[in-house]
Amino acid sequence: MMSSLHRHPRVRLGLLLGPPILWLGVAYLGALAALFVTALWSQNSFTGVIEREWTLDSFRTLFTVEVYRTIALRTIGVALLVTLIDAVVAFPIALYMSKVARPGLRRFLLVAVLMPLWASYLVKAYAWRGMFAEGGLVSSMFEAVGLKSPGFGLTATVVTLAYLWLPYMILPIYAGLERLPDSLLEASADLGAKTPQTIRRVILPVVVPAMVAGSIFTFSLTLGDYIAVRIVGGTNQLLGNVVYDNVGAANNLPFAAAVATIPVVVMLGYLAAVRRTGAMESL
Amino acid sequence: MKRLSAAASLAVLALIVAACGTSGGSDDSSDDGAAGTSGFTPPDLKKLDTLGAGEGKLSVLAWPGYAEDGSNDPKVDWVSSFEKETGCQVTVKTFGTSDEAVSLMKTGQYDVVSASGDASLRLIAGGQVEPVNTDLIPNYADVYPFLKDRPWNSVKGQMYGVPHGYGANLLMWRTDKVTPAPTSWGVVFDANSPYKGAVTAYDSPIYIADAAMYLMATKPDLGIKNPYALDEKQFTATVDLLKQQKALVSEYWSDYLKEVQAFTSGNSVVGTTWQVIANVATGEKVPVQVTVPTEGVTGWSDTWMLSATSKNKNCGYLWMNHIVSPEANAAVAEYFGESPANAKACAQTADKNHCTTFHAGDEAYSQKIWYWTTPIEQCLDGRTDVKCTDYSRWTQAWTQIKG
């Protein structure tokens, strides 16, 4: 058996690559293709049964009805905001972890960053619901300084999502900074650069591609999210909710598929832009 | 309303005549008067002729509170006795909206479903549920006659399930935060409501009917006669009202536990609800009360239906018989807060006034509730000079209302 495999390198290669290619081609890209094809079908509005006739009706509705544009822009806005907040919060943490903390503390911090990933998404989202609820931690803090709590809404959604995806931003930046030799920082100092200058001229060029890599996670995860906004988002809805409502409530699979192509297209555009920065190598 | 009930009773009469005339076949599509009430021909499916032994398991798709096995509250259990008697092991999946029920039934994974009027016809037309032979269900004989052969549970004289119970969507409020006690839906619809930002509403397109019902009472010049039959002008006015309501809403609910939690924390203090939610909230010491506002109420009339693709049909029939038995029907009705369908259930309730409170068997009262119905293009109020907005329009509008 083994020897026959040795004699037939092509068979060996086929066995090695077959399963992953099948997985990628059929289960993964096939599903995406099926999604896109479904978007071109129509459905019976009474029974919700899909009628396999080619039509662009779903896309027509998507582009002509204003509310979907509003929701798409809102979703992209939330995704950008979450990414921005994560980048700003993650940078100092990652910098401290990789360049300042002693090895023992560094290991502890790494575990602390990873720890929330072990807890269920729902538990974390409901924890934030409790904090934003009337009499919760966030609202009582706001009341203590005489402000009105934001309550459930877009603010709560952005905060919750930024919290949920923070580890996905910290880890790439941390990895990027790990690759930066300490000697470069020392050299920068020896040559008379002050800390801000070192950060701007030495650290940031290394960190920005890592940040962009992290932003792929935070941006795409936010783009597809519909659970957090249902839990803390009040009356707001994002693209994921429209997809969910059209699958679960309206039984309009073709339209749901049409809506689902928006994040795919946005993500493709984003990835194309990211490729130009060279951040793909930092992934 | 008068016209509708007259039409309905005429249809029932026609159905009875038709049923007597063609007692043998369920699949004949004769053009008698009943065809007009539903306006579609359901897929040709056979009902069961005889009952065999149970298959040992049953998958139930139910509204929360309809199939309790004691896991939520050890005292609330009418599934275990069924399992013991019949040997059918029950698994229960609950759903929050009728739309969810329809899409879950399409998976074919569930044997029986408790369908409200806005789901049942869609399930029949889609071929997801099959005709039910009521002769195989002894307890069917005790079901109130005014629940049998209705447009939402039968087609052309053929029953597609067993009536289970009916009730109303009530107005609930936190007694410590809302004073005086509201008597009108105005507190959740009026732009000047003092509870701005703490109102809750049901997250489903069918909630549009609640707003239409409010307009029916407050803006009579719109001429709404049935909240499920809205022409273009009436529909626009209703959607505008709901868009205005959105500014008042703290959040929409479809998960009943989420509503309980929102009332517990005080994020919501007033809004539409089911009796069972008020019961759960009261059980958790949340000070809430419910009422039937002056404008009237929407509500549900539910039917247990049998999946056409079910492999456990015998257990399904046994379940339908069990759930409308006086004991189980009384227990569900009391726990969920609705009128039972079985006339004998009233003698079995723990609270002897339950049936009086919920006006069980009171046909006149039951006709005052606007039961959930799927809006279709043919106006349900009998108008033929205009086209009404159908459910897919309602669904789209609901997304636009939420913005």
Number of structural domains (chain A) is 2
A236 contacts in B (CB within 8 Å)? 402
Domain assignment of residue A46, given as a range:
39-282
Q: Is the pLDDT of residue B9 over 50?
A: no
Q: How many CB pairs under 8 A join A and B?
A: 85
Helix B232-246 × helix B208-218 angle, to 10°: 110
Q: Which of B40, B106, B267 sits opposite A134 (nearest CB)?
A: B267
- Asked whether the beta carbons of residue A252 and residue B205 sit closer than 8 angstroms, the reply is no
Do A258 and A190 fall into the same domain?
A: yes
For residue A134, what are the CA distances in angstroms to A149, B139, B171? 8, 48, 21
- Asked whether the beta carbons of residue B395 and residue A249 sit closer than 8 angstroms, the reply is yes
Check residue B317 and give its pLDDT: 94
A242 contacts in B (CB within 8 Å)? 399
Instruction: Give B348→chain A minimum CA distance, Å.
Output: 36
Do A8 and A142 fall into the same domain?
A: no
- Asked whether the beta carbons of residue A135 and residue B205 sit closer than 8 angstroms, the reply is no
- The stretch A30-39 carries a mean pLDDT of 86
Average pLDDT, chain A: 87
- Which run of H or E residues covers position B4? helix B2-21
Do A18 and A114 fall into the same domain?
A: no
Is domain B2-23+32-164+302-363 in CATH 3.40.190.10, yes or no?
yes
- Please report, for the domain that includes residue A141, its CATH number: 1.10.3720.10
Instruction: Give B97→chain A minimum CA distance, Å.
Output: 8
Give the model confidence (pLDDT) of B255-306 as tens digits.
888 899 999 999 999 999 988 888 889 888 999 999 989 898 999 899 999 9
Do A167 and A235 fall into the same domain?
A: yes
For residue B104, what are the CA distances in angstroms to A227, B57, B74? 19, 19, 28
Q: Is the pLDDT of residue B134 over 70?
A: yes
Test mutation, A42, A43, A45, A47, chain B, max B CBs within 10 A: A47
Check residue A3 and give its pLDDT: 66
A234 contacts in B (CB within 8 Å)? 249-251
Instruction: Give B197→chain A minimum CA distance, Å.
Output: 9
Q: Is the pLDDT of residue B17 over 90?
A: no
B40 contacts in A (CB within 8 Å)? 46
- The stretch A270-274 carries a mean pLDDT of 88
Check residue A249 and give its pLDDT: 67
Q: Which of A48, A237, A247 sits opposite B402 (nearest CB)?
A: A237
* Residue A65 touches partner B, C-beta closer than 8 Å: yes
Instruction: Give B99→chain A minimum CA distance, Å.
Output: 4
Average pLDDT, chain B: 85
Domain with CATH 3.40.190.10 in chain B: 2-23+32-164+302-363, 170-296+375-402
For residue B79, what are the CA distances in angstroms to B83, B318, B386? 6, 12, 47
Do A7 and A141 fall into the same domain?
A: no
Length of chain A, in residues: 283
Check residue A281 and give its pLDDT: 64
B250 contacts in A (CB within 8 Å)? 151-152, 234-235
Confidence band for B38, pLDDT divided at 50, 70 and 90: very low
**Taking every pair of C-alpha atoms in chain A, what is the biggest distance, in angstroms?**
79
Do A253 and A199 fall into the same domain?
A: yes
- Asked whether the beta carbons of residue A249 and residue B125 sit closer than 8 angstroms, the reply is no
Nearest CA in chain A to B392: A45
- Strands (DSSP E) contained in B66-215 are 89-94, 112-115, 154-155, 158-159, 162-168, 170-174, 199-202
Q: Which of B99, B205, B403 sits opposite A70 (nearest CB)?
A: B403
Check residue A111 and give its pLDDT: 92
Q: Which of A47, A135, A236 sits opposite B126 (nearest CB)?
A: A47
Is domain B170-296+375-402 in CATH 3.40.190.10, yes or no?
yes
- Asked whether the beta carbons of residue B250 and residue A245 sit closer than 8 angstroms, the reply is no
A71 contacts in B (CB within 8 Å)? 399, 403
- Which run of H or E residues covers position B213? helix B208-218
* B303 vs B117: CA distance, rounded Å: 8
Check residue B1 and give its pLDDT: 39
- The stretch B202-219 carries a mean pLDDT of 93
Do A271 and A145 fall into the same domain?
A: yes
Check residue A41 and give its pLDDT: 84
Check residue A278 and give its pLDDT: 67
> Which token pair is A21?
């290619």
Q: Is the pLDDT of residue A61 over 90?
A: no
- The stretch A172-177 carries a mean pLDDT of 92
* Residue A247 touches partner B, C-beta closer than 8 Å: yes
Give the model confidence (pLDDT) of A236-253 as tens digits.
999 999 888 887 666 778
Most confidently predicted of A72-86, B13-27, B120-134: A72-86
CA A225 to chain centre: 8
- Residue B49, SS3 per DSSP: coil
Check residue B246 and give its pLDDT: 93
Lowest mean pLDDT, pick from A133-147, A157-171, A219-233, B174-188: A133-147
Give the model confidence (pLDDT) of B82-113 as tens digits.
999 999 999 999 998 888 898 889 888 999 99
Lowest mean pLDDT, pick from A33-37, A220-224, A260-264, B192-196: A33-37
Cis bond before residue B180 (omega within 30° of 0): yes
Would you list the DSSP string of chain A? -HHHHHH-HHHHHHHHHHHHHHIIIIIIIHHHHHHHHHTT-EE-TTT--EE-----HHHHHHHHSHHHHHHHHHHHHHHHHHHHHHHHHHHHHHHIIIIIS-HHHHHHHHHHHHHHHHS-HHHHHHHHHHHHSTTSHHHHHHHHTT-----SSHHHHHHHHHHHHHHHHHHHHHHHHHTS-HHHHHHHHHTT--HHHHIIIIIHHHHHHHHHHHHHHHHHHHHH--HHHHHH-TT---HHHHHHIIIIIS--HHHHHHHHHHHHHHHHHHHHHHHHHTGGGG-
| Predicted-complex ipTM score | 0.75
- Asked whether the beta carbons of residue B251 and residue A48 sit closer than 8 angstroms, the reply is no
- The stretch A189-207 carries a mean pLDDT of 88
Q: Which of A1, A102, A89, A40 is nearest to A261 (CA)?
A: A40
Q: Which of A61, A134, A252 sits opposite B265 (nearest CB)?
A: A134
Most confidently predicted of A202-206, B80-84, B367-371: B80-84
Nearest CA in chain A to B394: A250
* A154 vs A209: CA distance, rounded Å: 29
Give the model confidence (pLDDT) of B311-320 as tens digits.
999 999 999 9
Do A51 and A168 fall into the same domain?
A: yes
